[in-house]
Structure 1
Amino acid sequence: MTDTAAPAAATGGCRGVGPGEARALLAVLESDPLVSCPAAEKFATSGAVPGPEGRFLTLGGPERSLVFVGSSVLPLRGDAHDHRALGVAVAGLGVGPMSVHGRREQVSALWDALGVCWGPHRDYRDAQHLMSLRRPVDRALVLGGVRAATLVEFEPVLAAAAAMYREELGSDPFAVGSGIPFRRRVARSLARGRTWIGVDRGEVFFKADVAAVSSWSAQIQGVWVRPERRGAGLGTGGIAAVCSALQARRLTPSLVVNGSNTAARATYRRVGMTDAVDYATVLL
């Protein structure tokens, strides 16, 4: 049930979620707390209505289907037919192309439509896993000194973030817009206290970003250890430190990892993380 009458339908019957549907929207977000984390953070900030953080689209109401369009596209509910229609509606917003991520089967259905509208993807990672930590971190694993970075540390953090970007995505983060969008993202994460680092003699050897925080969970991304320092347990200790800090706020830590990245998955398992959701990401 919605609170009031829903907004009129637009593209293919799809429409924005209205303020009167806030309770129904929240129920959907709460039903899939790990996957919905970025969307739930937007909802906590500005509710159901469109805002700078993004917007929600639906076909037939949030109880039936739901897609969140922020800095990326996140399908949250609906069958293949719903997501194909919503894909056309997302493309019609004129805000893309942008990455698509979420539950594997929902991303596949949404991309069927978005791919036609937006063209070829750069990479389709269809064998990912969203891992989560449900039990308390073993304090013996926590690496001392890992902490939230500050804006004063922008330059060394930027260098670490760029190294991670090149390694993970195989492209130069400074190639687009003279690097201004990338610099802004790094600065915003620092300003919000969302980037965690380990530093030794002025050099960042570990980095992780807390990309999204809801009332119940937090998503970690951008995990990186300086190559020459790998194999010494710094990744395990760093992630344990970040997870411990999140658990102290009564949040469930989670992150997305490629199924083929056996080293990273082993690191996260040592901290206590387990596979929770079959995931996929389309990079553009």
Structure 2
Amino acid sequence: MTDTAAPAAATGGCRGVGPGEARALLAVLESDPLVSCPAAEKFATSGAVPGPEGRFLTLGGPERSLVFVGSSVLPLRGDAHDHRALGAAVAGLGVGPMSVHGRREQVSALWDALGVCWGPHRDYRDAQHLMSLRRPVDRALVLGGVRAATLVEFEPVLAAAAAMYREELGSDPFAVGSGIPFRRRVARSLARGRTWIGVDRGEVFFKADVAAVSSWSAQIQGVWVRPERRGAGLGTGGIAAVCSALQARRLTPSLVVNGSNTAARATYRRVGMTDAVDYATVLL
């Protein structure tokens, strides 16, 4: 161990990435800019040092293997051997179980180890795609009035977020902790200006969250259109509006979509998004 690296953990030689490895860590994040977005946002806030936003674990240095543990687990580099050790190290942190997502092959390798420690998954979505928008948004597609929501709009946004959660995950977001964690998550997104909405007569008909923002990209999630308003182009117009705002900040918009969701994929393609990465998510 050198003074540039964090002490090795007891699990298979895995350890936290040290402050002296910040340059190497940044190089790894920059090498996969779309996938690394949540980890890069943490790095921009507090570097390699562990904190409330998360921590980085490695076996042999970030150039060889890297996993980011934040509100979810994101494997970024490593082979099957590395991920066996890193999976045990992540489980040993005592912060899970939590969702795992990333490049399909990386998730598969890490979950082989994590699944042994955390038990069965609720859903393993191994046919997802991370889509991105590389060309400018066609301004004719942008739906007027779609904007960042404010905390004053908490209740209608909460209702829309809950509807989306039930539809996407098949469970009640208010069933855990009397709904307090879910309410906090929605409020935090609003406070950061990360939730975008379209409103008609006081009712939210479109919602999308900007879940992560790095120096080079932004990840959109939680896209939802009120069921009775679907089929009228509101999803296309809403996503176009969000993407346009992100591009104005010189960010590359991206999002993850299930391969089986042909309607959503068609919507994103109309905006100009294309498949960029074969992706997977393990839900617990």
Pairwise TM-score range, normalised by the shorter structure: over 0.9
Change (3 A) 1:142 1:64: same
Query: Equivalents in 1 of 2:44, 2:283: separation in Å?
Result: 27
Deviations 1:31-51 (A, max 9, x none): 000000000000000110100
**What residue number does 1:235 align with?**
235
Query: Equivalents in 1 of 2:235, 2:186: separation in Å?
Result: 20
CA positional deviation for 1:3: 8.7
Contact residue 2 and residue 21 of structure 1 kept, 8 A: no
Deviations 1:83-137 (A, max 9, x none): 1110000000000000000000000000001000000000000000000000000
CA positional deviation for 1:7: 3.0
Contact residue 41 and residue 214 of structure 1 kept, 8 A: yes
CA positional deviation for 1:4: 2.9
Query: Equivalents in 1 of 2:91, 2:265: separation in Å?
Result: 34
Query: Equivalents in 2 of 1:83, 1:263: separation in Å?
Result: 35
Contact residue 3 and residue 21 of structure 1 kept, 8 A: no
Secondary structure of 1:154 counterpart? helix
Contact residue 37 and residue 214 of structure 1 kept, 8 A: yes
**What residue number does 1:222 align with?**
222
Query: Equivalents in 1 of 2:139, 2:35: separation in Å?
Result: 27
Change (3 A) 1:134 1:154: same
Contact residue 2 and residue 20 of structure 1 kept, 8 A: no
Change (3 A) 1:278 1:2: farther
Query: Equivalents in 2 of 1:169, 1:235: separation in Å?
Result: 19
Query: Equivalents in 2 of 1:5, 1:131: separation in Å?
Result: 35
Deviations 1:229-251 (A, max 9, x none): 00000000000000000000000
Unaligned 5+ segments in structure 2 are none
Query: Equivalents in 2 of 1:5, 1:150: separation in Å?
Result: 42
Contact residue 195 and residue 210 of structure 1 kept, 8 A: yes
Deviations 1:36-67 (A, max 9, x none): 00000000001101000000000000000000
Contact residue 6 and residue 15 of structure 2 kept, 8 A: no
Moved more, 1-10 or 144-153: 1-10
Deviations 1:164-187 (A, max 9, x none): 000000000000000000000000
Contact residue 75 and residue 106 of structure 2 kept, 8 A: yes
Contact residue 220 and residue 255 of structure 2 kept, 8 A: yes
Query: Equivalents in 2 of 1:230, 1:121: separation in Å?
Result: 31
Secondary structure of 1:166 counterpart? helix
Change (3 A) 1:29 1:12: same
Secondary structure of 1:145 counterpart? coil
Deviations 1:243-265 (A, max 9, x none): 00000000000000000000000
Contact residue 87 and residue 111 of structure 1 kept, 8 A: yes
Query: Equivalents in 2 of 1:15, 1:202: separation in Å?
Result: 50
CA positional deviation for 1:10: 3.0
Query: Equivalents in 1 of 2:8, 2:178: separation in Å?
Result: 41
**What residue number does 1:136 align with?**
136
- CA RMSD in angstroms comes to 1.3
Query: Equivalents in 2 of 1:64, 1:138: separation in Å?
Result: 40
CA positional deviation for 1:8: 3.2
Query: Equivalents in 2 of 1:226, 1:276: separation in Å?
Result: 28
Contact residue 75 and residue 106 of structure 1 kept, 8 A: yes
Contact residue 3 and residue 22 of structure 1 kept, 8 A: no
The yes-or-no answer on 1:200 pairing with 2:200 is yes
Task: Give identity over the alignment, percent.
Answer: 100
CA positional deviation for 1:80: 1.0
Q: When the two structures are superposed, what TM-score results if normalisation uses the length of structure 2?
A: 0.98
Deviations 1:138-170 (A, max 9, x none): 000000000000000000000000000000000
CA positional deviation for 1:188: 0.1
Query: Equivalents in 2 of 1:228, 1:2: separation in Å?
Result: 60
Moved more, 2-11 or 153-162: 2-11
